[in-house]
Structure 1
């Protein structure tokens, strides 16, 4: 097994970009999800309600600022938020974040058609991984949902696509196009495992970095939004509910907490260290 893709999402719920390598920090990949969009009251503007966030491409700048692009919007370059105003936020385990430059708020308000502000997480060590998601004392996370990293497998996606095609045939429908892995918003994608083999892992090593598996990832309606069009369909939850549903939820991928830090690169070996 080997690492086949690494994806960074500078903006929570924004589009991701593939990298050949990345640095693993205690709270996730360096540069991943340190920025987020909130409402006027500090609430998280969730992707399911505001799918246009998927159309935003955010790029971390060397000086700590952020570059933003989106279809139909002017490009925007923001300075670092360091030293900005602290405001209350509604993310679990976190009481406040730092406001970005004022021009960001108008940009996102126009894009989403809803009052919005951009915030930066100054210190990810302030946000713990929730115990209900497998967090232990000392585990921390950025603005990412529930764990520092999410691992998915190409073979598991291939099996899911096969199930979707089988279901379409049973309904007399034309076979759909394969799903993009981007729907599942992984941090790392592996190749060479058996389909859903990752479900049974308790610890895994990627390159020279060890990870503890906290939980299998339960999937929400966000996966039904096509990242290319921001339009919502019925897959993959319809098919996951048929083949991968238990405890009232559907499941795809596993959540990881780093045991140590270091660099990982595409092509690194992936080795399960302990199974459940």
Structure 2
């Protein structure tokens, strides 16, 4: 087998500790079987334990999260003085201990999954209730007692925390550039909330990446990302518009990319990934800015990838 040439390199890494809230851009991030460490480990829920997302509560886009910089070092463990700091317009600063809470709350649900989670307590509940204007609680995924499996039709044997479907989402800068060349008003990458932004490849080439290596770690592309309402929400103002969904319908819809299937009105942007060697392999379990991205196996057509 000949030398595998890098198809791209990692341009940015983003971790989203609280589902649907603002992400943290980091120079490196430890990889775990459920995604980057800290990614979607927390979620805001309503009085019935059901998830809140920007689809219904766009104000979540303005909630900023800060973690200790050392939290993204491999093998770092929090102490009793380690906190997640949460800010939002018009709100006092909220500090949440990274040492796990002890209270368990049942009947927490995200999409089709339901189970128990760790409750972050009265102060966090009061803060989010005041900010959203509805009864809310902040909960943390309880990996010690709970498992949330990925869709076995696409990634059997893998798991995630509170992300929508799969542990990782990758998009290329070139795909965003191609979209922005068509849009009347260009949009930033934060609309699509990827974990990994790569650069140096052709637009939408990530559609075809079935197996890639980022430095020493092997990832599998499992499904194109079908986009919901969130990319239409300006992450700085929370104002929604028809774009980019209307433009994506013109060249990234299931009707176009999946001509042999009944259209369901979906549009696609980005590739979901799972970490293939999560049970071993790879000398370093950290993805870093500038890491080479090598394609080990790719599909022949986008239709195959979106199926």
Give the TM-score normalised by structure 1: 0.91
2: CA distance between counterparts of 1:2 and 1:122?
A: 33
| Contact preservation (8 Å) 1:3, 1:270 | yes
Cα displacement (A) at 1:75: 0.2
The answer as to 2:291 corresponding to 1:274 is: no
The answer as to 2:24 corresponding to 1:17 is: yes
The answer as to 2:260 corresponding to 1:245 is: no
**2:9 aligned residue:** 2
**2:159 aligned residue:** 140
| Contact preservation (8 Å) 1:81, 1:101 | no
1:112 corresponds, among 113, 116, 132, to 132
**2:179 aligned residue:** 160
| Contact preservation (8 Å) 1:218, 1:251 | yes
Secondary structure of 2:182's match?
helix
| Contact preservation (8 Å) 2:19, 2:53 | no
2: CA distance between counterparts of 1:56 and 1:259?
A: 32
Runs (4+) of structure 1 moved beyond 2 Å?
A: 59-66, 79-82
| Contact preservation (8 Å) 2:116, 2:142 | no
1: CA distance between counterparts of 2:217 and 2:190?
A: 24
2: CA distance between counterparts of 1:101 and 1:59?
A: 19
Give the TM-score normalised by structure 2: 0.82
Cα displacement (A) at 1:86: 2.5
| Contact preservation (8 Å) 2:24, 2:65 | no
Aligned ranges 1:15-164 → 2 under 5 Å: 15-61=22-68, 62-63=78-79, 65-79=83-97, 80-91=99-110, 92-123=112-143, 126-132=147-153, 134-137=154-157, 139-164=158-183
**1:168 aligned residue:** none
1: CA distance between counterparts of 2:62 and 2:152?
A: 32
Gaps of 5+ in 1: 166-175
1: CA distance between counterparts of 2:119 and 2:133?
A: 20
Residues 33-77 of structure 1 deviation map (CA, whole Å, 9 limit, x = unaligned)? 111000100111121110011111122354364211111100011
| Contact preservation (8 Å) 1:93, 1:130 | no
- Number of matched residues? 263
2: CA distance between counterparts of 1:222 and 1:18?
A: 19
2:187 corresponds, among 179, 184, 203, to 179
Gaps of 5+ in 2: 1-7, 69-77, 255-262, 279-284, 300-307
